[in-house]
Amino acid sequence: MNQSAPIIVKVVVDRPLNDAFDYLWNSASLGAKPEIGMLVEVPFGRTNLVGLIIEVSSYTQINQTKLKNVLQVAPLIPLDSRLMQLGYFASQYYIHGLGETLISAIPKWWRTSTHWNKPLQQLIAKERATAQSNSKKKIAQNQLNEEQTHAIQILSNHQAGTFNTYLLNGVTGSGKTAVYLTFIESLLKLDRGAQALIMLPEINLTPQLQRRIQEHFPEENLAILHSGLTEKQRGIAWHQAMTGAARIVLGTRLSIMTPLPKLVAIIVDEENDSSFKQQEGLGYSARDLAIWRAKNERLPIILVSATPSSQTWHAVKEGRYQEIRLTGRVGGFQSPSVELVSPDKSSGSITINSKMISALEDNLHKNRQSLILINRRGMAPVITCLSCGWLSECNNCSSYMVMHRQLGHFKSPMMCCHHCGKVKTIPQRCALCGDADLQPLGRGTQKIEDQLQTLFPEAKVLRVDADTARTSKKSEALFEEIHDGSAQIIVGTQMLAKGHDYQNIGLVCVLDADARLYSNDYMAPEHLFAQLVQVAGRAGRFSGEPTQILIETRYPNDPVYQYIKTFDLAGFMENLMLTRQEAGLPPFGYQALVHAEAKQRQEVLAWLNHTKEYLQSIADTQAGITIFDPVPKSIARLGGWERSQLLIESRQRGPLQALLSALDQYLRERSVGRISKISKVRWSIERDPLII
Ligand SMILES: [Zn+2]
Ligand SMILES: [Zn+2]
């Protein structure tokens, strides 16, 4: 029988594995020729899996008779080579399997092979019809001021086909969005097929910007990508991006791996926001990947912020990024006045500060709204027994169960672990001594809401946190009550400070700011400063009396509070850079964590100690690498698992990368996936961790 050479395809699958697997390709039965980047279904062990072709050849090391056939092909354009390159880079840099990295970036709808036979065009046409029934009228844009025009001029000088990172640095209300939308508009006009990617840190921020983009580009098809969509919606939006049907893609961090055949620019709005970093699985930073992608595809990328990250600040100082500054405010904005207040001595931290109460009273009289910010949702962070001191600990985690006055569909008070999600009714009596005098300790959003309602029975008090704004519909309704002025006092978590423009805020009170500052997170000061600037930007955006901001702190001399009084970003950043440089912390050094968890703490620590020994035996001592001792995590027990970690620091990126790749290989040889064979420890390696 005269048969031509068989076609072999190498396929990666969504499993914690580094290997690719060989399959036979039958062009006749599959109805297509194999291409790199095709999504296929293959038999794998006793099941079938969706995989991605990364190589096509006629050669295999495996006995051909043992090879299985590719079963079917997804009705999709193969992922383009630049997207594959991004996947290879992310997989190497973040020490994650290539299959896991590339395939998990594809919407689940397409990873489900039963959807492949559904009539695609019909589905998309239907979805698009509903999307396009929205108003298509172009709203007149505000006249750009001189500074904005100048900023656009600088961006317009960007030479097509080259890479450059811009920092668009400006206070809230300085018109940054108008600048980048106008820039995108000019690029889309130049090339009828061109596409732009705009990334935002949070789902909550998308509806606002979506409206703004639709007003600016009434003719363009906009694709929205975030985890709050249904699988089908996300599948369709992704498909529209991939085919070029959508010219603007607006998405959260997961959108960075979207195939965009004619991408011409990337915008990362609120670039300093920690939500761009994924904590689980592929622990990537979408901001960092965006810069890599822009460089690889030779594009301009614009990082946008009122409080740039230390990383960005450093790069601007080194001349690697080009800064464009917007200093003025559009529309008669007045800077708020900041006052630091110390907590009341008598009542501890349980009640609202007396200074704040009188300021609230004043503000109500002036018919202006007040924002009360506290970074803890729920009623009280812990419940205690006044007789014996019992505390509401979670059985699964080394943390306390938080009291909620109501939670989801539970209408009576409940307690909930914010780490593992376990919900319990509050016991009538103490489990230890039987006393009935159980009391909430400390304060959260619900408690503050209750107290304010008691203090100001006439006022409408509104609470905005992850409990009341669980869905985007609910959160939009809440924000509507703020915008239309029906809520007078608004209590909430940092969710309140992000993205929304409020017109009539006269007073902002920040409670428990110190709790955030004095955690074991080296980035805490940077994040707190950014949050306070953000809060200030939300308030008093229009003329009238300036907004008053009261910050409750026991440590008024901390640099964060000193610099926030005059909104001195440059002063704060220079000070921060000095302390980071002295400590060798990012951006002056690089970090990685080895995470490990098991049912028994000794097992975890023994495994990490062994890992440390191995690292010491291979680390280049000349390269400035420090390997620390294993330590339990700040939440040492989570969902019944004992968790510890090992920190590695390095002065240079290269030697750290080499060390981690070697470690990954060493550990994989002794593991099934990422579970060690002998002690069953679950492990992972994280680059550039935000939380240590
Ligand atoms: Zn007790
Ligand atoms: Zn728990």
Ligand 2 centre to CA of 366 (Å) is 44
Mean pLDDT for the chain overall? 89
Pairing of strands 402-404, 72-73: unpaired
Question: What proportion of the chain, given as a percentage, has pLDDT over 70?
Answer: 93
Ligand 1 centre to CA of 62 (Å) is 67
Asked whether residue 113 is domain-assigned, the answer is no
For residues 313 and 373, state if they share a domain: no
Angle formed at CA 193 by CA 192 and CA 199, multiple of 5 degrees: 115
For residues 449 and 433, state if they share a domain: no
Q: Which of 49-58, 456-465, 474-483 has the lowest mean pLDDT?
A: 474-483
For residues 397 and 357, state if they share a domain: no
35 vs 40, 41, 79, 249, CA distance in Å? 11, 14, 9, 26
Average pLDDT over residues 73-79: 95
Asked whether residue 692 is domain-assigned, the answer is no
Ligand 2 centre to CA of 637 (Å) is 8
pLDDT in tens, 605-626: 999 999 999 999 998 777 789 9
Asked whether residue 584 is domain-assigned, the answer is no
For residues 36 and 180, state if they share a domain: no
Q: Which of 94-98, 361-365, 398-402 has the lowest mean pLDDT?
A: 398-402
What is the structure's pLDDT at 342? 87
Nearest to 400 by CA among 692, 637, 598: 637
Ligand 2 centre to CA of 444 (Å) is 18
Ligand 1 centre to CA of 49 (Å) is 53
- Domain closes at, from 38, 71, 104: 104
CATH code for the domain in which residue 511 is found? 3.40.50.300
Closest listed ligand to the CA of 397: 2
For residues 161 and 252, state if they share a domain: yes
- Domain closes at, from 263, 293, 326: 326
Asked whether residue 184 is domain-assigned, the answer is yes
Closest listed ligand to the CA of 398: 2
Average pLDDT over residues 52-70: 92
Average pLDDT over residues 25-30: 94
> Is the confidence at residue 187, as pLDDT, over 60?
yes
Nearest to 88 by CA among 76, 97, 77, 79: 97
For residues 464 and 360, state if they share a domain: yes
For residues 575 and 643, state if they share a domain: no
Average pLDDT over residues 312-334: 88
For residues 428 and 467, state if they share a domain: no
> Is the confidence at residue 139, as pLDDT, over 70?
no
What is the structure's pLDDT at 343? 81
For residues 537 and 597, state if they share a domain: no
Average pLDDT over residues 151-156: 97
For residues 247 and 182, state if they share a domain: yes
Closest listed ligand to the CA of 400: 2
> Is the confidence at residue 250, as pLDDT, over 80?
yes
The count of domains in the chain is 5
Structure tokens at 276: 């761009």
Asked whether residue 173 is domain-assigned, the answer is yes
Closest listed ligand to the CA of 439: 1
What is the structure's pLDDT at 446? 87
Ligand 1 centre to CA of 429 (Å) is 8
Asked whether residue 411 is domain-assigned, the answer is yes
Ligand 1 centre to CA of 412 (Å) is 22
For residues 247 and 140, state if they share a domain: yes
Closest listed ligand to the CA of 635: 2
CATH code for the domain in which residue 661 is found? 3.30.70.260
CA distance 72 to 688: 39
> Is the confidence at residue 349, as pLDDT, over 50?
no
> Is the confidence at residue 542, as pLDDT, over 70?
no
CA distance 302 to 319: 15
Three-state secondary structure readout of 303-366: EEECCCCHHHHHHHHCCCCEEEEECCCCCCCCCCEEEEECCCCCCCCCCCCHHHHHHHHHHHHC
pLDDT in tens, 434-449: 888 888 877 788 888 9
CATH code for the domain in which residue 31 is found? 3.40.1440.60
What is the structure's pLDDT at 466? 81
For residues 598 and 454, state if they share a domain: no
Asked whether residue 1 is domain-assigned, the answer is no
Ligand 2 centre to CA of 416 (Å) is 8
Ligand 1 centre to CA of 381 (Å) is 18
What is the structure's pLDDT at 88? 97
What is the structure's pLDDT at 161? 94
Q: Which domain holds residue 88?
A: 7-104
Asked whether residue 538 is domain-assigned, the answer is yes
Closest listed ligand to the CA of 424: 2
Closest listed ligand to the CA of 639: 2
Residue type, 386: L
Closest listed ligand to the CA of 384: 1
Closest listed ligand to the CA of 393: 2
Ligand 1 centre to CA of 519 (Å) is 29
- Domain closes at, from 395, 426, 441: 441
